[in-house]
């Protein structure tokens, strides 16, 4: 879910920046008569804006997991700064909505501004393509695109899992070198069948031994090594450096979430479980 919120956050920033650019263009190409602030328009702005803010607050209270934001100070700071920016953009969005309706009304019913058809065209385009629903659709599309980028698309294969430890260095003169272990080999079992999948498994097995004990490892190719452990700082010493090896799973189940963005916030609607072989 955190990836979805991250994608939504990035998508929201991109969406509002695009809308801000469009607003600047609208203010540049239209006349002052189109977007001017009047007392009646301002009253209409505040009424619509108040309703929009109330709806947003209800969505945040009932649909948004606030713990995701409170887990990080940087997320909270980002959320506060972006909210201020978004609220300002939303106010101008409401104002241009009111201006578009007023100018279209004056053009068709009051028979005014007949010579300025650009303002009329801008008003009609704004009502069709830049209303609240269109903005949510744009946000959803951008969020999906961002999610595809940060997740590298929908996974077609199972994720990898730890499957052993690879020997990356053999210390000169160490018990491992004397036993014949070479770099590049992958240890998968120890002590006659005990699985070694992670570095933690490997370290735990070595630490359970005492200097002078014998330890058997087996590699992925079936080679077996019997090692007489040395001593270093009072602990058992084998003399190799390892790194985690990851392998593809032979089968797995993955859960895909169906997300609803129509409320302006990502909401998990349903989950589907897929089997991969």
The CA–CA distances, whole Å, from 253 to 17, 71, 155, 264, 269 equal 38, 29, 12, 30, 20
Distance CA 219, CA 164 (A): 9
Please answer whether residues 90 and 49 qualify as being in contact, where contact means their C-beta atoms are separated by less than 8 angstroms. yes
Residues 112 and 170 in one domain: no
User: Per the domain annotation, does 222 fall within a domain?
Assistant: yes
Q: Do both 182 and 229 map to the same domain? A: yes
Residue at 258 is within a domain? no
Domain check: are 29 and 145 in the same one? yes
Q: Is residue 37 part of a domain?
A: yes
What pLDDT tens digit does each residue of the chain (277 aa) get?
A: 566 777 778 888 899 999 999 999 998 998 888 888 899 999 999 999 999 888 878 777 766 666 666 667 877 888 888 889 988 988 998 999 999 888 888 777 766 555 677 888 888 888 888 777 788 788 888 888 887 777 655 445 566 788 889 999 999 999 999 999 999 999 999 887 888 888 888 888 888 899 999 999 899 888 999 999 999 888 889 999 888 888 766 655 555 555 554 554 556 656 665 554 4
- Give the residue numbers spanning the domain of 77: 2-150
In the chain, the number of structural domains is 2
Task: Specify the CATH number for the domain of residue 180.
Answer: 2.30.42.10
In a domain, 272, yes or no: no
**Is residue 78 domain-shared with residue 116, that is, in the same domain?**
yes
Claim to verify: residue 79 and residue 108 sit in the same structural domain: yes
- Check whether residue 180 and residue 131 sit in a common domain: no
pLDDT per residue over 53-106, tens digit each?
Answer: 888 787 777 666 666 666 678 778 888 888 899 889 889 989 999 998 888 887
Shared-domain flag, residues 138 and 230: no
Residue 22 and residue 106 share a domain: yes
Q: How many residues does the chain have?
A: 277
Q: Are residues 73 and 201 in the same domain?
A: no
Whether 62 and 144 share a structural domain? yes
For residues 25 and 134, membership in a common domain is answered with: yes
Average confidence score pLDDT of the chain: 80
């Amino acid at each position: 879910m955190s990836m979805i919120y991250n994608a939504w956050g990035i998508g929201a920033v991109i969406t509002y920046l695009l809308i801000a650019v469009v607003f600047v263009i609208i203010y540049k190409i239209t006349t002052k008569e189109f977007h001017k602030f009047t007392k009646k328009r301002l009253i209409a702005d505040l009424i619509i804006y108040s309703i929009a803010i109330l709806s947003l607050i209800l969505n945040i209270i009932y649909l948004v997991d606030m713990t995701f934001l409170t887990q990080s100070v940087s997320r909270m700071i980002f959320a506060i700064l972006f909210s201020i920016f978004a609220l300002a953009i939303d106010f101008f969005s409401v104002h241009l909505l009111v201006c578009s309706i007023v100018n279209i009304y004056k053009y068709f019913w009051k028979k005014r501004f007949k010579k300025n058809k650009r303002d009329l065209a801008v008003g009609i385009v704004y009502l069709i393509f830049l209303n609240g629903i269109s903005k949510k659709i744009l946000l959803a599309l951008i969020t999906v695109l961002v999610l595809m980028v940060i997740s590298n698309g929908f996974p077609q294969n199972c994720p990898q899992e730890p499957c052993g430890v690879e020997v990356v260095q053999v210390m000169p003169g160490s018990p491992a070198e004397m036993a014949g272990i070479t770099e590049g080999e992958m240890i998968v079992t120890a002590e006659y069948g005990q699985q070694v999948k992670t570095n933690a498994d490997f370290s735990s097995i070595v630490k359970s031994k005492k200097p002078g004990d014998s330890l058997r490892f087996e590699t992925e190719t079936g080679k077996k090594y019997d090692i007489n452990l040395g001593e270093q700082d009072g602990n058992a010493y084998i003399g190799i450096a390892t790194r985690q090896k990851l392998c593809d799973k032979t089968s797995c189940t993955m859960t895909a979430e169906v997300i609803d963005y129509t409320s302006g916030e990502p909401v998990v609607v349903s989950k589907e479980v897929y089997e991969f072989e």
